[in-house]
Structure 1
Amino acid sequence: MQTDFLVIGSGIAGLTYALKTARFFPDKKVTVITKTQADETNTKYAQGGIAGVWDEDRDSYEKHIEDTLIAGDGLCNKDIVEIVVKEGPERIKEIISYGAEFDKDEKGAYSLGKEGGHSENRILHHKDVTGQEMERALLAELSQVPNIELVNHCFVVDILTQHHLGFLVTKSTTDITCYGVYVLNLHTHKIEKILSKITLLATGGCGQAYRTTTNPKIATGDGIAMVYRAKGRIENMEFIQFHPTALYEPGTSPSFLITEAVRGDGGILRNKNGDAFMEQYDSRKDLAPRDIVARAIDSEMKKTGTEHVYLDCRHMDKEKFIHHFPNIYEKCLSIGIDVMQQMIPVAPAAHYSCGGIKTDEWGRTSILHLYACGECASTGLHGANRLASNSLLEAMVFGHRCFLDSSKAVENIRWNDAIPDWKTTGTTDPREMILITQSLKELQQIMSDYVGIVRTDVRLERAMKRLDLLFAETEELYRTTKVSPQLSELRNLITVGYLIVKGAQFRKESRGLHYNTDHQAKSSLLQNIIL
């Protein structure tokens, strides 16, 4: 297959880019590929909302910028923060024009929520399924554009570069170029070649590296791992955000998210004794930034020897709660919890990768003709910790900026027909799937036990040694058996795990989401860890 623009991933970042590009170039082909259904994305599971300066009488760009910088703990790129905050409202207006509906008050004005780390009410939301509503609106708009081809059940295996032409490519190579991708067609079970002029990675996060995560099964860090294998630049992978309040259901994966907006509306965290504890950790109490709240919960669980704390909503107005959080209310009822009578058991779960594929202000990666946006990218917005509800905003702003930049470049790019087809000679079908499934369990246990909310040098060293063994075993399996989605995802997650641990070992301080008890003081030298 040949296509002018190739988009890998169908979340809000990828769809924003595809829609704008296809409408700007009605005579060019835009191909969007996804490894499951088009709407099965991290976007779909975003509950809380999208942050943006909407009420300019009370709010301002300066306040949103300052809140983002404070949450990022000194590592945000201020120029990028200003770009996203100032361009964000226009992108929100666009998705509203596509038909996305956000909740309004009785006067018809948008109902703006408040979440941890925000100084003002600026979160637009659609009940507690904001991401799902935005995804719906984008897919509906996309269906009206004839030059977009949406390909489901297509798993990307690797990015095509000079390496596939026999050239030696290293991290010091200055002109690494992306020519497209190899994909595993899940209908034919064959690996096919897609050549593209411009490729955009919008592959989402990597929460499945952990045993407990709010991310769907598809969040296996594919884009990050592929770029690293292609010798592209990755940064700040040590900053994995744990959402403080996932519903505690042992053995359930992914974990059901209890959005931060519940605390924004008055929910109170309590320990097993019923004591509200957040005032002991931060003056902002339950609305402190996520890294602080997650560490506070972790501390309380260790003090009391429990596996969860509680979120108390019993004092909240029932009618308002059900109106704003209908899915949370129904989910809790389904497991026997009436939130108006009982407290909700919650515990932190891996939620968001603040690092990823290093990009510039236009979404360009270190590999030519390859762009990245959304959670897989590290744009400089989040720094050491993401401010709540900034992720959907970033995805739309950078989807737009990637479109602006790539639309200028595409006319001077030609397909590279010299890329060879995938060779499967000498490989066999895997005889024992347990070799893959058990390695995945081992990886998730290693990451959860040694590279979680609180880290030490010894834990990180132990994690690296075990990952080295898993890597060697999995690479041997990859060389001797036919490629499958399960094997590719395991391989990608091991790579992501390595990047998280290596970044954590390099960072000799505690900052934001990286908390190492052997290096508690922040250093005066701020730096991004680039791998």
Structure 2
Amino acid sequence: MTPFWEAGADLVVVGTGVAGLTAALTARELGLRVLVVTKAGLAEGNTPWAQGGVAVVLPGQHEPGDSVQRHVADTLVAGAGLCEEAAVAAILADGPPAVERLLRGGARFDTTEDGRLARAREGGHSTFRVVHAGGDATGAEVERALLATLRDGRIPVLEQHIAVEALRTPAGEVAGLVVLDGNGVPGAVRAPAVLLATGGVGQLYQATSNPEVATGDGLALAVRAGAVLADVEFVQFHPTVLFTGAGEHGRRPLVTEAVRGEGAVLVDRAGARVMAGVHPLADLAPRDVVAAAITRRMVATGADHVLLDATHLGGEAFRRRFPTVHAACRAAGIDPAAEPIPVAPAAHFACGGVVTTVDGRASVTGLYAAGEVARTGLHGANRLASNSLLEGLVVGARAARAAAADLAAGRLADPRAAEPAELPAAPVVERAALQRVMSRYAAIGRDASGLVEAESVLEAHSVHRPLRTHREVEDAALAMVARAVLLAAGERKETRGCHVRTDFPRTEESWRRSLPLRLDAAGRLAFFETVALGGAA
């Protein structure tokens, strides 16, 4: 296939969430020619939906006794033994300067009467260290500030263009991208460095907090380029997504954990506390603990949701503190001042992804990743609340600096050496069927027979076809990622963090390790143990 058009850059950034925008702006500051590619509009990624905030310990603006080291400790506990401690320490240590850069760039966070940043507490945190904007609209404010700077910096953006495949040299180095515009017209962007910031995989499931664009495109592109995936079995389900009926699918409104940080409690329909006696932090336990407890209670009572009682806050206080949640509740006919909010777990965050260092370098020369698509070692088996926006800010900047350093040192390929661009063909599964089977067999509770059944259903519905449209690229990505999740979930015969095996309910020390995956010589996903994972290097 000869591309209809061709372009060039030093760095191509795929995605316009916090990680992608931070990377693009940092690279531009370093003097690189940057091109941003996004399959939707500039502000249509995951970041604007992030309600909770940014977990960070700012100098002079933290609770007495809090520290970066204490933040590290909370992250390691939430990660259930699979975080890489050096990576956690490196990323969280860079958090304060990253947030301060964001504030200098014009981001407006909520403040107290004395002008200091207001802080909230969320699940898994031992203290109040989550800064927020607009009460519960932090992601939208972070995105607004970064987009304003991006537009001022005049960085070119290809909107409505989906990244399909990496261009590679005969030696396997990444040297650009094949893309499709909204009409299916192909093109090639040649560049020595490609940075993926494509977000998560929420559309694997029928109910998710993620927008429609969260289809795992970056993971599929990376693995086809030879990169390594790990920890993909750890898909975090947010405990409290607004429940508006059993028949509703797609993105559902989030009820931020900060509501529980203000004293709201989970109860079943009989009024019994869901988290009583489950965990020392009760309703503010780590997300995996709360989501699993809610699921158990729903099974035990035959209900399809539980209730979040925040009536103690009063109507006006709730509306001021949580305007986004309040609006979603009222749109659904719920008055959180007078009645508990119906909630249920839904797919929220992919803890694993493309294996990278904390500087965003993947295992393939020329390929970088940052944000939810990457597996840096920060999240382990379960992400600590509000560490994701922080990771995007920190690793996005680090990855841009790494790409600039690698380019200056001559470690990257000459894009002119890339092999001819072609549109790939790949297995595609009808999306509704995939979401049904993943929701039934590979959500919070999993067992061997269900995982095998899910694999057989995907195989039966799989059709190998050229990827000529946005929808086909997305559906092929979902099929690839679903198989990776099922393979890893079937291999990990224990319960740990977000991964709950009902047939192996115990956490086993022998499984305190990640399971790296990549394509074998036959093009099939397979485990291997030959490459060091992530880390601070």
What is the TM-score when the length of structure 1 is the normalising length? 0.92
Partner residue of 1:361 out of 358, 361, 379? 358
1:81 paired residue number: 88
2:534 paired residue number: none
Question: Which residues in structure 2 correspond to 1:511-522 (within 5 Å)?
Answer: 511-522=496-507
Structure 1's unaligned 5+ residue stretches are 166-174, 428-434
1:277 paired residue number: 274
Report the CA distance between 1:230 and its aligned residue: 2.0
2:316 paired residue number: 319
Q: In 2, distance between residues paired with 1:423 and 1:66?
A: 46
Question: Which one is further off, 369-378 or 408-417?
Answer: 408-417
- In structure 2, what residue type is equivalent to 1:181? L
SS of equivalent residue, structure 1 residue 446 = helix
C-alpha contact 2:174 2:225 (8 A) present in aligned 1: no
1:105 paired residue number: 112
Structure with higher strand content: 2
Report the CA distance between 1:247 and its aligned residue: 0.4
- CA 1:161/1:303 → structure 2, altered by over 3 Å: closer, same or farther? same
Partner residue of 2:53 out of 49, 55, 59? 49
Over residues 35-94 of structure 1, what are the superposed CA-to-partner deviations in whole Å (9 max), with x where a residue is unaligned?
A: 010111111110010000133433111210110000000000000110111110110001
2:255 equivalent to 1:258: yes
Q: In 2, distance between residues paired with 1:157 and 1:418?
A: 16
Partner residue of 1:40 out of 29, 39, 44? 44
- In structure 2, what residue type is equivalent to 1:276? R
SS of equivalent residue, structure 1 residue 518 = coil
Report the CA distance between 1:418 and its aligned residue: 4.8
Partner residue of 2:139 out of 113, 127, 131? 131
1:171 paired residue number: none
C-alpha contact 2:164 2:423 (8 A) present in aligned 1: no
2:490 equivalent to 1:505: yes
1:469 paired residue number: 460
2:449 equivalent to 1:445: no
1:195 paired residue number: 190
SS of equivalent residue, structure 2 residue 336 = coil
1:490 paired residue number: 475
Q: In 2, distance between residues paired with 1:106 and 1:390?
A: 26
C-alpha contact 2:184 2:470 (8 A) present in aligned 1: no
C-alpha contact 2:244 2:332 (8 A) present in aligned 1: no
1:530 paired residue number: 516
SS of equivalent residue, structure 1 residue 58 = coil
Report the CA distance between 1:318 and its aligned residue: 3.1
2:177 paired residue number: 181
What is the TM-score when the length of structure 2 is the normalising length? 0.91
2:16 paired residue number: 10
C-alpha contact 1:17 1:399 (8 A) present in aligned 2: yes
SS of equivalent residue, structure 1 residue 447 = helix
2:99 paired residue number: 92
Q: In 2, distance between residues paired with 1:270 and 1:361?
A: 40
Kindly tell me the number of residue pairs found equivalent between the two proteins.
500
C-alpha contact 1:23 1:145 (8 A) present in aligned 2: no
State the percentage of identical aligned residues. 39
C-alpha contact 2:51 2:256 (8 A) present in aligned 1: yes
C-alpha contact 2:359 2:395 (8 A) present in aligned 1: yes
2:74 paired residue number: 67
C-alpha contact 2:236 2:288 (8 A) present in aligned 1: yes
Partner residue of 1:341 out of 323, 333, 338? 338
SS of equivalent residue, structure 1 residue 315 = helix
2:445 equivalent to 1:454: yes
Structure 2's unaligned 5+ residue stretches are 1-6, 518-537
C-alpha contact 2:121 2:128 (8 A) present in aligned 1: yes
Report the CA distance between 1:222 and its aligned residue: 0.3
C-alpha contact 1:470 1:494 (8 A) present in aligned 2: no
Q: In 2, distance between residues paired with 1:84 and 1:233?
A: 21
C-alpha contact 2:359 2:398 (8 A) present in aligned 1: yes
Report the CA distance between 1:417 and its aligned residue: 4.9
